[in-house]
Amino acid sequence: PRHKCGNQKSCPQNYFAFKIISGAANVVGPSICFNDVILMSSVKNNIGRGLNIALVNGTNGQLLKTDTFDMYSG
């Protein structure tokens, strides 16, 4: 069976599924999946070097904001 965000197990009821994948240098970009929706990825063109963060409402799962913090440039 297929599970949300490609996880190996289903989450219990009233929990959200998520998967965060780190990038690999400049070859593969990071991605964030939440409740079977890709929030950030190179395909969506909303990632950058450094920390990629997605702020999600913990009650209803609604995406509030995404942002990137470039730790290299300061």
Helix (H) or strand (E) holding 19: strand 18-21
58 vs 74: CA distance, rounded Å: 30
Task: Spell out the domain ranges in the chain.
Answer: 4-69
Query: Does residue 8 have a pLDDT over 70?
Result: yes
Residues 22/30, Cβ–Cβ less than 8 Å: yes
pLDDT tens column, 25-55? 677 889 999 999 999 998 899 998 888 999 9
Structure tokens at 63: 């995406």
- pTM score: 0.85
